[in-house]
Structure 1
């Protein structure tokens, strides 16, 4: 499976998504936008597009962040969707998917940073890529916003702090507001970038501080993510 990552910042690493792709022997490509890499010209040569998170919003302009072109990313997402390729967006990436398909992003009811449970909806419990993974399980979080919902979108998972944690836009297009890909290395990079901001959010109900962030066990959520990805990839290959 030809997997291409769009990475916005060095501290928003692909984590377990990359571990999965390499462990399965996939052909892996990158657009590390923070290093000046270009986006793919289109969907050719891609089976799975994975758009990572970042501190930007879909409304962030090129003038505000020269290496982030929301319109170009949305055009790539739309091209992959139209070509029936698989697309996964994480955090900012999930919001860009919604926007690419006509649904503006929105502010989440709460800021969530840390490890907090997500709960599968009835649709999520019945979904072939999530069934049997547990009705409620821990997930990583680091966000203020959430993806918009198209008419065809189905919410597969929620949390106490955010009603849109996993969204299915079609059989092969998914928005993950949550971060099942977090690893200790991912967390260290995020803490290094955001430690001062974390201190200002200490009174928020769904924000953990660095000591707790480091103490969380991310292995189980990584395993659940990889099970989801294995099922998606098998279904995509067999269609």
Structure 2
């Protein structure tokens, strides 16, 4: 598999997605837009597109963030979905996917930062790519927004603080508002970038502080993510 990863900021690293790709022998290329890398000119050069998170929103303009071109990323996602590539959006990436397919991003009811459970919907529990998650699964979070829903979108998982944690936009297109890619290394990067902000969020019921964030074990959710990705790859190959 040829995987292309769009990374918006150094502290929003792919984490366990890279671990999975390396362990399976997949080839990985990057658009690290925060250092000026270009987006792919064509979708022909990859089999899977992975769009990571970031502090931006789909509404962020080039004037506000010169290295983030929301419209260009949405166009790339739309082309990849239309070409039946495997596409996974994480946090901001999931919101961009919704926008690319015609569904506006919305604010989440609660800010979530830390490790909290998601619950699979009946559709999620019956879904062959997600049934192995079980009824509930503790996963990583770091967000205030959530992706929009297209008419054909299926909500796979929710949480107490956010009704759209995983969304299926098509058989090969998935938005993850949650962060199943977190590792201790990624958490350290996020804390370093956000420690002063975290100190102002102690009143939020779904926000953990740095000590708790570092104590969390992210291994089980990483393994569940790997199994999902393996199933996604298998379906992509079956459709070729």
TM-score, normalised to structure 2, is 0.99
Between the aligned partners of 1:34 and 1:129, the Cα distance in structure 2 is 32
Between the aligned partners of 1:36 and 1:226, the Cα distance in structure 2 is 29
| Long gaps (5+) in structure 2 | none
Deviations 1:98-131 (A, max 9, x none): 0000000000000000000001000000111111
Between the aligned partners of 1:152 and 1:235, the Cα distance in structure 2 is 19
Between the aligned partners of 1:103 and 1:143, the Cα distance in structure 2 is 18
1:125 corresponds to which residue?
Answer: 125
Misfit runs of 4+, over 2 Å = none
Given the alignment of the two structures, is residue 141 of structure 1 paired with residue 106 of structure 2, yes or no? Answer: no
Between the aligned partners of 1:133 and 1:78, the Cα distance in structure 2 is 28
Residue 201 of structure 1 aligns to a residue in which SS?
A: coil
Deviations 1:69-90 (A, max 9, x none): 0000000001101101110000
Between the aligned partners of 1:133 and 1:179, the Cα distance in structure 2 is 14
Corresponding pairs, count: 239
5 Å-filtered alignment, 1:100-119, equals: 100-119=100-119
Deviations 1:30-84 (A, max 9, x none): 0000011000012111110000000000000000000000000000001101101
Between the aligned partners of 2:39 and 2:228, the Cα distance in structure 1 is 26
| Long gaps (5+) in structure 1 | none
Between 1:128-137 and 1:75-84, the stretch displaced more is: 128-137
5 Å-filtered alignment, 1:171-186, equals: 171-186=171-186
2:66 corresponds to which residue?
Answer: 66
5 Å-filtered alignment, 1:86-97, equals: 86-97=86-97
2:18 corresponds to which residue?
Answer: 18
2:212 corresponds to which residue?
Answer: 212
RMSD: 0.5
